[in-house]
């Protein structure tokens, strides 16, 4: 027979044993809902990326299509010198089409953390090789308030096999609409390397979403990249055949 003391200890262990998995699951659900809010099962987006530097600025316009986590295609529509360039992700493979030299380049994993078109976003950010839902373990740290919105504060630690360069990411997601309002990216020394902020909340295709994303490197004063979503369509009718190397060369 168990003593009263042992019963209390067993009960406490049982409660602890079920509370941590439930908390982790809740945090993952929150991140999943925020991710689905911006993507849907499929999507088409028109956006502009403004690269800001202390002595110059550059603007890039583009269209992007996605289907789930494994298929995405980005087409550059301006400026003229980059028009027609495209980036394709299909499963774990990524290609870049460069019409000015009539060449398709398969991008190695080592390039995923590099700057995308000279911006403060990486190749990985734009084609979403890493999934914020699948490639991280999530822990709910508590609550916070950003831009007047009550938000969840969630720590994301990359899984050992995940294609992620960050030691951890702290993300803030609003409780009302599951909007990703802020993400802090830390290196292996615990230093904050870059900051992403979501703002200009608007309705797009029936969804309330941030229509502006600022990516700010913390070690480069005066550097910033702003992505502005001008049009978003969700759950569009698009097949996996759309995401082909041949279509990447001809899409418009």
Report the range of poorest mean pLDDT among 35-44, 197-206, 221-230: 35-44
pLDDT-derived band at 10, boundaries 50, 70, 90: very low
Residue 132 domain flag: yes
130-141 pLDDT, tens digit each: 688 888 999 999
146-193 pLDDT, tens digit each: 989 999 999 999 999 887 889 999 999 999 999 999 999 999 999 999
- Per the structure, how many domains does the chain have? 1
Per-residue pLDDT for 44 more than 70? yes
CB contact at 8 A, 104 and 245: yes
Q: What is the pLDDT of residue 2?
A: 46
Residue 98 domain flag: no
Rounded to the nearest integer, the mean pLDDT of the chain is: 87
98-135 pLDDT, tens digit each: 999 999 999 887 777 788 889 998 877 766 656 888 88
- How far the first Cα of the chain sits from its last, in Å, is 74
Give phi and psi for 192, each to the nearest 5.
-70, 115
Residue 188 domain flag: yes
Residue 60 domain flag: yes
Does this model's pTM top 0.85? My answer is no
Average pLDDT of the segment spanning 189-204: 96
Per-residue pLDDT for 80 more than 90? yes
Residue 33 domain flag: yes
Q: What is the pLDDT of residue 14?
A: 38
Peptide bond into 79 cis (omega under 30): yes
Q: What is the pLDDT of residue 19?
A: 40
Average pLDDT of the segment spanning 213-226: 96
Per-residue pLDDT for 216 more than 80? yes
- Which domain, by its residues, includes 47? 25-67+108-235
CATH code (residue 193): 2.50.20.10
Residue 159 domain flag: yes
12-42 pLDDT, tens digit each: 433 444 444 445 559 999 999 998 888 888 9
Helical segments of the chain, H only: 4-39, 123-127, 245-250
Determine the Cα–Cα distance for residues 11 and 17; give it in Å rounded to an integer: 10
Residue 246 domain flag: no
Q: What is the pLDDT of residue 15?
A: 42
Residue 166 domain flag: yes
Average pLDDT of the segment spanning 207-212: 96
Q: What is the pLDDT of residue 129?
A: 55
Average pLDDT of the segment spanning 215-235: 96
- Which residues touch 14 (CB under 8 Å, ≥6 apart)? none
């Amino acid at each position: 027979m168990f003593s009263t003391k042992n019963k209390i200890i067993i009960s406490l262990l049982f409660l602890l044993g079920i509370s941590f998995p439930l908390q982790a699951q809740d945090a993952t659900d929150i991140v999943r809902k925020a991710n689905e809010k911006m993507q849907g099962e499929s999507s088409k987006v028109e956006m502009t990326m403004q690269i800001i530097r202390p002595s110059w600025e550059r603007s890039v316009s583009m269209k992007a299509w996605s289907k789930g986590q494994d298929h995405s295609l980005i087409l550059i529509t301006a400026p003229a010198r980059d028009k027609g360039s495209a980036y394709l992700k299909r499963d774990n493979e990524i290609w870049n089409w460069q019409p000015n030299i009539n060449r398709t380049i398969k991008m190695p994993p080592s390039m995923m953390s590099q700057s995308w078109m000279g911006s403060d976003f990486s190749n990985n950010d734009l084609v979403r090789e890493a999934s914020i839902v699948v490639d991280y373990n999530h822990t709910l740290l508590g609550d916070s308030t950003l831009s007047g919105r009550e938000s969840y504060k969630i720590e994301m630690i990359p899984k050992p096999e995940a294609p992620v360069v960050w030691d951890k990411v702290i993300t803030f997601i609003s409780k009302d609409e599951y909007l990703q309002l802020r993400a802090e990216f830390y290196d292996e020394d615990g230093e904050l390397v870059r900051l992403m902020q979501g703002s200009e909340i608007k309705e797009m295709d029936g969804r309330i979403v941030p229509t502006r994303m600022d990516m700010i490197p913390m070690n480069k004063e005066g550097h910033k990249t702003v992505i502005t979503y001008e049009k978003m369509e969700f759950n569009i009718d698009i097949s996996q055949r759309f995401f082909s190397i041949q279509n990447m060369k001809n899409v418009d």
